[in-house]
Structure 1
Amino acid sequence: MTEHTPPTALPAWLLEDAELCTAVQRHDFGRVFRLARRRAGISYSQMAIACDIKPDRVGTLARGQGKVATFEKIVQICDALRIPGHLAGLADRPWEAASGTGTEADEAVLRRRFLQVAGFAATMPTTLTQPPGRIGQKTVTCLRERTARLRRLDDVLGGGDTYRVYTTEYQATKALLRQASYSEATGRALLSVLAEQAQQAGWAAFDGGREADATSLYEASRTAAIDAGDAALAGNALAFLAYQRLGGDRQAGVEIASRSTESIDDRTPAGVRALLHERRAWACAVAAMPTEAERSLAAAGEALAESAGETPPDWAAWVDRTELDIMTGRCWAELRRPLRAVPLLEAALARYADSHARDKALYSSWLAQAYLTAGEAEQAAAVVSRSLALADGVASVRPHKRLLTVLAGLSTTRYRALPAVAEVLEQARG
């Protein structure tokens, strides 16, 4: 039997790279993680599984924050990435002799480790690993709770890392709907979970640059939500579709976003109302409709005020005052009103943790854009510099696309000779 090679094993050519060797010798495993992802295509989530490190910790280390200091963890990382012991100052590792002790069970171990990292039990529920029989609300509750826990990965990882995880969950629930038996009420609840999972998978697809997959998943989500009688999720599916459409037909994006707010009724939670109104505001801002944007922002603010003490569905729980301030600042930046945009964005982003690297880098791009609109190129360059550092190694196409737009503005003849601007343009090229 041959030695099992884990999917996180670094290729031989990378192990000979001077930069990687130096990072390993210095036990700078944040740089090792970053190089493994950038040059070998090994995702942070894969490394988190194999190294038994929380995904947010991998991302934090990759951004140069913190270090691995314990002997046990250094050994575990070297074994997971198949880094020869001598590079890290260790004795030769047992697998270096290709002793042939690996087994097919190693893959199951990796899967169980991922579930532990994500906050789950060590094994999948029997309803997903064995042919299902009769299921009830308890199964639906377990699925919804797991979906909520998996959603936390999106706080620290980009869609390039989470897409496969979320689509696997979605497909598993689809199979359950086909194969299990259940009451009508349980079936509707299961469809609601399916709609929620499809939206999460669609968001990861969109974030990772899989536009066609995102559209398909959002549309499937809306169908499932309608069949489930879940008007709030059906409205949110439309809001996702509108957000995606804004990259092309902006008027169509406004129309779809307006349909999402028209789905609001007396049963819609206040937090969901705030979410749908703020997304319509963004569609209107992108379409250069300031009056409508301001009206929707006001409606979002009113709904958020009414949400105090209410427990929103988990998929809308992230909408708070800071989020609304950021969206308001983004709208005013997009509408070229920097005097309104800058104070809001500066204050809100100061409250926003760097651990949410993708979103902070993305949102900061509108702060940079607002500064540039005001002719403050040096301030814009400083913001872009911080955003580039935050976005480094994040598996998301969106921050990079946005920052390229601002960098294009900075690279004009008017600004590029300024020392601060020249420095950030060089940083972007690196």
Structure 2
Amino acid sequence: MDRRTVLHAATTSGLAAALPALHRPDASRRVTPAHVERLRARTARLRRLDMVLGGGDTYRVYLAEVQHTKHLLRSRSFTGESRRLLTGLLAEQAQQAGWAAFDGGRPGDATDLYEESRGYAREAGDDDLYGNSLAFLAYGAGDRRAAVTTAQDSCATITARTPATVRALLYERLAWASAVDGRAIGAERALDAARDALNGAPEGEPQPDWAAWVDHTELDIMTGRCWTELRRPLRAVPVLTRALGRYPDDNARDKALYLSWLARAYLTAGEVEEAAVTVGRAVDLAHGVASERPLQRIVPLIDDLRHHGDVPAVRGLMAHLAA
């Protein structure tokens, strides 16, 4: 799906109309586990939008899913385990909507949705989603120490039954919180635990769709981001360079973000030319994406590079931006 084609369709007829074959499955007055699974499959399809669109475009779509599921829980009767399953799905949907809110510059809405998700996950008895709600809260927390504590609480939900990608995701978020708080040893230990989780995944182990994007490439990128935050560019640059070489440009928002950490690592190392070139790539990828986060990362980098106006690569970048 081409990102700019979808954006053009969305501006003319609305995003929902621009998405093919995503009508909600019909439900009778009684919701069955089979109906919940069809809704879960729809949620998984909609999640793919996050790969090509920013939260500014997807927030209302994901929030509408949350509201629809709440309506079902209020207005329908249920068979078997369908109510518990639907409540777990609501926790998953609230996390996705919260992520879009965070990405689209609505941090307050994001926190509210993560807190809602935590309550739904507890009600559904879903430890994995409960742990992930805490990881989301830690990721967006403004208080660095509180973020580490919340991330540690999320990792405390891990059991022998926790899927490998979920374990890795929770440890990644703990590593990030630790790095932002300047805790190098804690960050490295958490990254090692995440890598052990992925390396030790039993063959054929089912992984939840909401954590399926966690792989060794993503872990390498998080590793580089952590070392950048800890001002260790000699560790950050090689791992980020290798990982981003494998990372597709189609995931424009995320790659722009990840390139911003590579650029910051170059600047920390005094490699101004490489930083300027990398920022230019990030700017091009971020163009047209309805996400606040790339700009939040790129603008400070540009400001720092302005102090190196005598460097040809920086002059080229500024000319490119002006154009």
CA–CA distance in structure 1, aligned partners of residues 16 and 110 of structure 2: 28
CA–CA distance in structure 1, aligned partners of residues 152 and 16 of structure 2: 43
Residue 311 of structure 2 corresponds to: 418
CA–CA distance in structure 2, aligned partners of residues 333 and 112 of structure 1: 39
**Native 8 Å contact 1:55 1:153 kept in 2:** no
Percent of residue pairs identical: 56
**Native 8 Å contact 1:250 1:287 kept in 2:** yes
Residue 294 of structure 1 corresponds to: 188
Residue 30 of structure 2 corresponds to: 134
Residue 279 of structure 2 corresponds to: 384
Deviation at 1:124? 3.3
Equivalent residue letter for 1:201:
A
**CA deviation profile, 1:254-276 (whole Å, cap 9, x unmatched):** 11111100111122111100000
Equivalent residue letter for 1:304:
L
CA–CA distance in structure 2, aligned partners of residues 112 and 291 of structure 1: 46
Structural RMSD (CA)? 1.9
Q: How does 1:5-404 map to 2 (within 5 A)?
A: 54=1, 56=3, 58=5, 113-116=17-20, 119-120=21-22, 123-127=23-27, 132-183=28-79, 185-245=81-141, 248-309=142-203, 310-404=205-299
**CA deviation profile, 1:377-406 (whole Å, cap 9, x unmatched):** 000000000000000010000011101122
Other structure's SS at 1:225 match: helix
**Native 8 Å contact 2:175 2:186 kept in 1:** yes
CA–CA distance in structure 2, aligned partners of residues 232 and 126 of structure 1: 28
CA–CA distance in structure 2, aligned partners of residues 276 and 345 of structure 1: 20
Equivalent residue letter for 1:258:
Q
Over 3 Å counting, the alpha-carbon distance change for 1:56 and 1:282 in structure 2 is same
Equivalent residue letter for 2:41:
E
Over 3 Å counting, the alpha-carbon distance change for 1:124 and 1:184 in structure 2 is closer
| Runs (5+) with no aligned partner, structure 1 | 1-53, 63-76, 82-106
**Native 8 Å contact 1:257 1:280 kept in 2:** yes
Following superposition, which runs of at least 4 residues in structure 1 exceed 4 angstroms of deviation?
Answer: 110-113
Over 3 Å counting, the alpha-carbon distance change for 1:287 and 1:111 in structure 2 is closer
CA–CA distance in structure 1, aligned partners of residues 319 and 55 of structure 2: 27
CA–CA distance in structure 1, aligned partners of residues 146 and 304 of structure 2: 27
Equivalent residue letter for 1:397:
E
Higher gyration radius (CA):
1
Deviation at 1:420? 1.0
CA–CA distance in structure 2, aligned partners of residues 325 and 290 of structure 1: 16
CA–CA distance in structure 1, aligned partners of residues 54 and 108 of structure 2: 18
Equivalent residue letter for 1:56:
R
Tell me the number of residue pairs that the alignment of Structure 1 and Structure 2 aligns. Answer: 321
Over 3 Å counting, the alpha-carbon distance change for 1:176 and 1:391 in structure 2 is same
CA–CA distance in structure 2, aligned partners of residues 146 and 411 of structure 1: 46
**Native 8 Å contact 2:33 2:79 kept in 1:** no
**CA deviation profile, 1:226-274 (whole Å, cap 9, x unmatched):** 00000000100010011101xx211111111111001111221111000
Equivalent residue letter for 1:335:
L
* Higher relative contact order (Cα pairs below 8 Å, separated by 6+ residues): 2
**CA deviation profile, 1:304-331 (whole Å, cap 9, x unmatched):** 1122522210000000010000000111
Equivalent residue letter for 2:186:
E
